[in-house]
Homo-oligomer: A and B are copies of this chain.
Amino acid sequence: MREKLTVIKVGGKIVEEDATLNRLLDDFAAIGGHKVLVHGGGRSATKLATQLGVESKMVNGRRITDAETLKVVTMVYGGLVNKNIVAGLQARGVNALGLTGADMNVIRSVKRPVQEVDYGFVGDVEKVDASLLSDLIHKGVVPVMAPLTHDGKGHMLNTNADTIAGETAKALSEFFDVTLVFCFEKKGVLRDENDDDSVIPQITPDEFRCYVEDGVIQGGMIPKLENSFAAIHAGVTEVVITLATAINGNGGTRIKK
């Protein structure tokens, strides 16, 4: 039987404030078995960019990453936020290892081609190599992954944290029985967006299509669920969408084959 692994993706807001970060690290440390943490850090990046007089331009919720912005996100995601989490986990007895996609060539990307929008130094994942990562995890190491990759030509690339989590989970499903958890500001996918308790406990691909047709699921939740189903089809056992304060619980919305 394959060993279980939990990949947890948390957004920037949670890891950027001491109180929520400490709560998250306590909860994460309490998760049994093998695990991986993937984090964002957008608010801190925007804050540092502002302090440095670098303009933060967003298109469709994505950051336009010029050369100066790339320096900012490399410092914030790869340095400040990542190492703060690593040190916090080490203090909790978790043998964390902070990584970007460049480290051990874990995730190589290609700079997003310019179409309608020039996103700049933004990476679209091309290749994930999880073999060394898998060895380390088997030895008790807990990877903490920043939303950065590299192009194999010497450049770091800013990369969406949901994508990092999904691609890492898929690659690690070659070695482990993987559950991928997307932390979210709601308790899960809601049947009624005005009712926080109307969580849909489980969604199959057929149900997803119906919910979208009926307009129950809409907006940014559609790509999130599409990514979840893609992960399931690529070998991930289960995807959970839940509150960051509930990563240890049984709640949220579960997506299975």
In the assembled complex, the CB of A171 is this many whole angstroms from the nearest CB of chain B, namely 17
A74/B78 in contact, CB under 8 A? no
Q: SS class of chain A's interface: helix, strand, loop or mixed?
A: helix
- A70-94: CB near B (< 8 Å → 1, else 0) gives 0100111111101110111011000
Query: How many Å lie between the Cα of A156 and that of B77 in the bound state?
Result: 15
Is A102 interfacial (CB 8 A cutoff)? yes
Is A148 interfacial (CB 8 A cutoff)? yes
Q: Can you tell how many copies of this chain the complex includes?
A: 2
In the assembled complex, the CB of A84 is this many whole angstroms from the nearest CB of chain B, namely 7
Is A147 interfacial (CB 8 A cutoff)? no
**Which residues of chain A from 80 to 117 have a CB within 8 Å of any chain B CB?**
80, 82-84, 86-88, 90-91, 95-100, 102-105
Is A185 interfacial (CB 8 A cutoff)? no
| Beta-carbon nearest neighbor of A155 in chain B | B87
Query: How many Å lie between the Cα of A97 and that of B154 in the bound state?
Result: 14
Using a CB–CB cutoff of 8 Å, the interface residues on chain A facing chain B are 48, 51-52, 71, 74-80, 82-84, 86-88, 90-91, 95-100, 102-105, 132, 135-136, 139, 141, 148, 150-156
New A-B pairs, 4, CB < 8 Å, besides A74-B80, A90-B150: A90-B154, A95-B104, A98-B102, A132-B141
